[in-house]
Structure 1
Amino acid sequence: MAKFVLVYSGGMGMEMEPEAQKQVMDDWGAWYGQMGEAIVDGGAPFGASKNVTSSGIGDGPLGDTPATGYTIIEADTLDAAAKACEHHPHVKHGGEVQVFTWIDM
């Protein structure tokens, strides 16, 4: 099996009512449960960021849609990894998931 990095962006964040937060966390728990052994690294949300370019160091993310977290999974193919994200809780709650192939070096 190959590894894939899921990079999250957008979504509702955790600035919501406690009941809504609980629903989001329950949805994540259910997705992790469905994925089972395919979860390599459950990941984490991201906090504040800096960007580093040839022009120097700046505040905030690069690009229009900052990354908000990640998870690493195993799947047979990139298509299978993307399919596993169709009903991902981050997507369900308004976010996006980019799926990247992990390249061992």
Structure 2
Amino acid sequence: MKKFVLLHYGFEKPTPEIMAAWGKWFEAMKDNIVDMGGHFSRGREISKAGTRDLPLGLESITGYTIVNAAGLDDAEAMARSNPYISSVRVYEIMSK
């Protein structure tokens, strides 16, 4: 199995229905989840140009989950079943 990170994008205030859907998703995915991750709030971007505060909105990374999957297609299928608000980006975590 390979590891993949699911980066969750976008934020809206969760409704009870969304929270229930998340709970069901985590329960269904429990055998594949390496790290349930967490939700992000405020952030900053640091670059050679300086530092800037990052807003929390539809273009923001708002959380992550790390999963085991056989390949990118399987990780994508897991992401598609996620009750995300805006979008999910899937990246393979390179092994050492």
TM-score normalized with structure 1 length:
0.81
Paired with 1:95 and 1:35, the residues of 2 have a C-alpha distance of 20
Structure 2 counterpart of 1:69: 63
How far 1:40 sits from its partner (Å)?
0.6
- Residue type of the alignment partner of 1:80: D
Structure 2 counterpart of 1:101: 92
Paired with 1:60 and 1:36, the residues of 2 have a C-alpha distance of 31
Q: Tell me, what secondary structure is at the counterpart of 1:52?
A: strand
How far 1:104 sits from its partner (Å)?
2.5
Structure 2 counterpart of 1:40: 34
Q: CA RMSD in A?
A: 1.6
Structure 1 counterpart of 2:21: 27
- Residue type of the alignment partner of 1:55: A
Q: Tell me, what secondary structure is at the counterpart of 2:95?
A: coil
8 Å CA contact 1:50–1:59 kept in 2: the answer is yes
Q: Which structure carries more helix by proportion?
A: 1
Percentage identity across paired residues of the two chains: 33
Unmatched segments (≥5 aa) in structure 2 = none
Paired with 2:3 and 2:50, the residues of 1 have a C-alpha distance of 33
- Residue type of the alignment partner of 1:57: T
Q: Tell me, what secondary structure is at the counterpart of 2:18?
A: helix
TM-score normalized with structure 2 length:
0.88
Structure 1 counterpart of 2:12: 12
Q: 1:80 aligns with which of 71, 74, 90?
A: 74
Paired with 1:24 and 1:100, the residues of 2 have a C-alpha distance of 24
How far 1:25 sits from its partner (Å)?
1.4
8 Å CA contact 2:11–2:60 kept in 1: the answer is no
How far 1:65 sits from its partner (Å)?
1.8
